[in-house]
Amino acid sequence: MKTYNVFEEQDWISKIQVNHPAVLRRAEQIQARRPVKKEWQAAWLLKAVTFIDLTTLSGDDTSSNIQRLCYKAKYPIREDLLKALNMHDKGITTAAVCVYPARVCDAVKALKAVGCNIPVASVATGFPAGQTHLKTRLEEIRLAVEDGATEIDIVINRTLVLTGQWEALYGEIRQFRKACGEAHLKTILATGELGSLTNVYKASMIAMMAGSDFIKTSTGKETVNATFPVAIVMLRAIRDFFWKTGNKIGFKPAGGIRSAKDSLAWLSLVKEELGDEWLKPELFRIGASTLLSDIERQIYHHVTGRYAAYHDLPMS
């Protein structure tokens, strides 16, 4: 991917302003929409499954629960439910699994054991705060890639945004890009900690100029995570960047997306703001740990007419 020198774009970046009331009005429109129903809903929910980065980022992660996560990534919806929808032979899996760097080897091994070739994504660079030394953050990326991660979800140092150090932010992300090698770089902006929608737009642009393959809303650990207003700003930054450069950059909302209804709203937003060409795993992901359970529950209800008990839909 071609990258751009932020020094040459400094005047343009400094003049950016986001129309906050207009963004809020657009967000209200999205939230007021009625979701699709019946067969259309089932189809869209199955599509949503293919965008999920199935995630576990807990302090008590072990090789056993990583194995369960990877099995669920390979078989996200019960086979009999897929057969009822005539979708059992479509190879539906989640888009990736996302884990801490120390668990990358476990995930690679578990996916290989179940015959699944979906990517392993690893958070890195001092996740979630991004406040460790730069040398440590770079080494964390390299180690995750060495262990088999093919996608790296990095976090930015929010201090650089809040103090307007755009050149320094660009420089750090460029180093992260280099450390990733052939792995995809997904840049987490932690939008709930950036102070304003204007900062969200500027950080989005800097991240894309520096070579990010995706921009991502949140770590899931902030007080405020993925929201429609910040998503609209990020999606329009992606659109503007595409118009300016011809490069298509992916979008990943994460944090607080737990219900099937939520996932449909996010798909609708991306479709309307960027078009159908962005509705594929190469350009759209949803970071989630519990969303898949609710989607499977809604598919179960669509097929059987009743809601599943907890034991009907185990994690694996």
The set of catalytic residues is 216, 252
- What are the structure tokens assigned to 152, written together? 């790296």
Distance CA 214, CA 133 (A): 23
Distance CA 100, CA 123 (A): 6
Given the DSSP bridges, would you call strands 120-124 and 151-155 parallel, antiparallel or unpaired? parallel
Distance CA 138, CA 126 (A): 9
Q: By the 8 A CB rule, do 121 and 96 touch?
A: yes
User: E strand or H helix at 128, and its extent?
Assistant: none
Give the 3-state secondary structure of residue 182.
coil
Q: By the 8 A CB rule, do 54 and 99 touch?
A: no
Q: How far is CA 6 from the centre of its chain?
A: 25
Q: How far is CA 161 from the centre of its chain?
A: 21
User: E strand or H helix at 251, and its extent?
Assistant: strand 250-252
> Any residues with CB less than 8 A from the CB of 315 and at least 6 apart, and which?
68, 69, 72, 293
> Any residues with CB less than 8 A from the CB of 263 and at least 6 apart, and which?
45, 48, 257, 286, 291, 295
- What are the structure tokens assigned to 188, written together? 């987490």
